[in-house]
Amino acid sequence: MSSVRLPFAKMHGLRNDYVVLDAMAAAPADPAALARTLGDRRSGVGSDGLLLALPSARADLAMRMFNPDGSEAEMCGNGLRCLVFFAIARGLVPAEALLRVETGAGILSARIESIEGGTARVAIDMGSPHVADPLALVVDGAALELQRVSMGNPHAVLFVDDVARAPVERLGPRIECDPAFPARTNVEFVEVVDRGHVRQRTWERGAGETLACGTGACAVVVAAATTGRIERSARVSLAGGDLDIVWADDGHVHMTGPAVHVFDGVWPVS
């Protein structure tokens, strides 16, 4: 049986890693299945998600993101930084000062602040968050108060005293799949360090605990500022590194952080 050789790039944003494909000419026939195959860390490339760079009639390009379980995410902040760097480095779009990307969360704007070798610093206007009322849940007999914020994808934020000791692997999947979230949710465990600094761990919907979550960091700053814990500008420290998040006066959330090209490869597709 003949196979097609599928070129890809392996990239990461704060060690939140992705397989990135140029799909401007043609998209994979079954991206969900491809995400499961490529995302497997033992038999595939290994990743937290599959990113597709696609043409758009409304913007400079479009992004679709599939989790390693094959489910499609509406939005991915670390992935978007990687996709922007990928598209500009490959010449898929002009290296304009401002790039418009169509996502499941709407059209978002991005700009490259700097490029040094295989690393770019990328700033994204993530748009306006939607803040819902807090949700009280009882999990394993413990009463939890979750702050709910959507950045185009759903987040449930739980404030803890010590994020290093937070039971992410136990509570994360329970909250993700709770009936209160019919489409499932991402779950952030957050420790406030001071008025301008928080520490975060994330249980990502469809992926498990990851080393960073860009939309999650945005949701955390919104939730913490809304509840008076921090200012509207903060550094978010994740296992993979730091993001700078600003919830501006116009209501938009701005995220700035790195995107790193790791290697290129080719995958045989039957």
- DSSP states along 138-167: EETTEEEEEEEEESSSEEEEEE-S-GGG--
Distance CA 176, CA 187 (A): 7
Same domain for 139 and 85: no
Same domain for 245 and 171: yes
**Residue span of the structural domain in which 214 resides:** 130-250
pLDDT at 52: 98
pTM: predicted TM-score of the whole model, two decimal places:
0.95
> How many other C-beta atoms are found inside a 10 Å radius of the C-beta of residue 19?
27
Same domain for 205 and 99: no
Q: What 8-state DSSP symbol labels residue 212?
A: -
pLDDT at 143: 95
Distance CA 111, CA 89 (A): 13
213 tagged catalytic: yes
Same domain for 43 and 97: yes
The tokens for 86 are: 């990928």
> How many other C-beta atoms are found inside a 10 Å radius of the C-beta of residue 258?
22
Helical packing angle, 77-89 and 214-226, nearest 10°: 140
- Active-site residue among 76, 82, 177, 218? 76
- Active-site residue among 82, 177, 213, 218? 213
CATH code at position 114: 3.10.310.10
pLDDT digits (tens, 9 = 90+) for 12-28: 999 999 999 999 999 99
Amino acid found at 6: L
Same domain for 240 and 142: yes
pLDDT at 1: 44
Give me the numbers of helices (H) and strands (E) for the chain, helices first please.
Answer: 4, 18
pLDDT at 2: 53
pLDDT digits (tens, 9 = 90+) for 26-65: 999 999 999 999 999 999 999 999 999 999 999 999 999 9
Distance CA 209, CA 219 (A): 16
Q: Number of structural domains, the chain?
A: 2
Distance CA 86, CA 124 (A): 15
For the chain, list residues with pLDDT below 50.
1
Same domain for 119 and 14: yes
Same domain for 183 and 118: no
218 tagged catalytic: no
pLDDT at 41: 96
Distances (CA, A) of 40 to 103, 162, 172, 263: 25, 31, 21, 17
Same domain for 121 and 15: yes
Same domain for 104 and 41: yes
Distance CA 244, CA 247 (A): 10
